[in-house]
Amino acid sequence: MGLEFPTPIGLAAGFDKNARRARALSALGFGFLELGTVTARAQDANPRPNMFRLPMDRALVNRLGFPNEGAARVAARFAKLGKLGVPVGFSIGKSRAVQIGDDPEPVVADYRESFDAVREVSDFVVVNISSPNTKDLRVLQGAALADPLLGALAARAEGKPILVKIAPDMRDAEIDDLCQVVDKHGLAGVVATNTTVGREGLVTPKDVVDAVGSGGLSGPPLRARALEVVKRVRAALPKATIIGVGGIEQGKDARAMLDAGANLVQIYTAFVYRGPFAARAIALELLS
């Protein structure tokens, strides 16, 4: 993307939703940060409880939604920080109040507003159309809706790299179709993947998982599918930038993702379970 990364280990979106901790995070060994997700309209989190640990699986389940103070306010605060020494991207999502209907323009306008707010303070922008915690959001991954949305944002890019974040729960054919849209509009690449709504292969007892309820699952149970998706995206987009996300806890996990075709990787759940220097530790493990 024309950027230099001190390490390939980045922070995934969702941890610093309002860009309040970017300077501190940049000092912990991350090679880059993805802040947000921000939306055009400020909004609260989904009702609590909305985040859970599954320690037996070293996994998390969240149904936060996109709680944030609004893209313009967050961007204005972040602009005051100056350079952090690592590339910083912003994730943008759909405002909860904007409904998805037959006419894509309200959704396009909502994303466009967020994009315009963060474009000048970002090294890259990630279009989140794959969170499971905003009603109907994932339908935007379908080519028919993704095409006008991504096309509209690409038209406003002015050289800013744009990536799209996709779900692990997409069928392979749907991934291929969306990659064609990414290629058509000249987007920089893909972030693969978001959290999963699946609950297969967990060690945690079923009654405990059922009690947690809905939400996106992250951590090691997602690793195998995330690798599959990265391989598929790389085959479809041989020249794109791919950021691999899902179950990366150790250097060997990051290496597997890079070998699968990712240029960069991100962590979130490992940051929770391994502690504040997880990114630094994983980067050093890559060297061993």
Positions marked active-site: 131
CA angle in degrees (0–180, nearest 5) for 281-268-247: 80
First-to-last alpha carbon distance for the chain, in angstroms, is: 27
Residue 244: exposure state from Cβ atoms within 10 A (0-12, 13-18, ≥19): buried
Mapping DSSP to helix (H, G, I), strand (E, B) and coil, where does residue 106 land? Answer: helix
Q: Give, for 54, the enclosing helix (H) or strand (E).
A: strand 51-54
Among 285, 147, 3, 23, smallest CA distance to 11 is for 23
Q: Give the rounded distance of the alpha carbon of 50 from its chain centre.
A: 18
d(C-alpha 252, C-alpha 229), whole Å: 18
Q: Give the rounded distance of the alpha carbon of 119 from its chain centre.
A: 17
**How does DSSP assign 160-178, residue by residue?**
--EEEEE-TTS-HHHHHHH
DSSP state of 27: T
